[in-house]
Amino acid sequence: MKYAVLGTGMVGHTLATKLATLGHEVRMGARTETNEKAQAWAEAHGPNAGSGTFADVAAWADRVIFAVNGAMILDVADAVGASAVLGKTVIDVTNPLDLSQGMPPTLIPELSNTTSAAEALQARLPGANVVKTLNTMNHLIMVDPGRVPGNHDVFLCGEDEAAKADVLAMLREFGWTDPIDLGPLAAARGTEGMMPFWLRLWGAVGNADFNYRIVRA
């Protein structure tokens, strides 16, 4: 598959590198074509790796991953443009955190509670099939669930069943054997709303190598 990974931070790097390692063609997207981090990543990852603007890599790709700062998600959606992702599976792994007031962050009111970053993204890219996933854990665990021993869970939600099947396939390639489908995209209000709890757990556990397991009767 051809994956565009939008975002040059730790999450973008981790996802892009894993996808390239799995044999996919991957292009890392940034605001400018000459973004140094994106170019350096592409140069380091062989002939199937590339970089470009958000719009160019999204237009090129089969699947588009939003791995940007949650506060920037709609700006990046506008930079991509709805036509570039028409009918494509768009994978949103962001969290709508307001980091402007220091730690711990709060949720951005316009992107939480009665809506979500994922729903706002879907509204901005109406022809895309947005699926929310992977936003409830540290980026290293996203692509390497075995980093935390035993069973633990990843969640996904979205409106389009074919797009969810695409994401399930990607998650299984990452090593997730049994992702939990939470239903419609509005369930992202729930998973995005867990980040304040996750940040407190980070403090209590002392490191980010933990994840949630839903234990059932």
Residues binding its own copies (CB under 8 A): 104, 106-107, 109, 112-114, 147-152, 157, 180-183, 186-187, 189-191, 193-194, 196-201, 203-205, 207, 209-217
The nearest distance, CB 48 to its own copies, in angstroms, is 31
Q: How far is the CB of 216 from its own copies (least distance, A)?
A: 5
Measured CA to CA, the distance from residue 8 to residue 178 in angstroms comes to 29
Of residues 47 and 150, the one with the C-beta less far from its own copies: 150
Separation between Cα atoms, residue 159 and residue 129, nearest integer Å:
7
Q: How far is the CB of 173 from its own copies (least distance, A)?
A: 21
* Nearest distance from C-beta of residue 210 to its own copies, angstroms: 5
Query: What does the H/E/C string look like for 29-70?
Result: EECCCCCHHHHHHHHHCCCCEEEEEHHHHHHHCCEEEECCCH
Report how far apart the first and last C-alpha atoms of the chain are (Å, whole number). 39
Q: Which is nearer to its own copies, 52 or 145 (CB)?
A: 145
Q: Which is nearer to its own copies, 129 or 138 (CB)?
A: 138
Residues 31 and 9: beta-carbon distance below 8 Å: no
Instruction: Give whichever of 47 and 177 is closer to its own copies, judged by the CB atom.
Output: 177
What are the φ/ψ torsions at residue 2 (nearest 5 degrees)? -105, 115
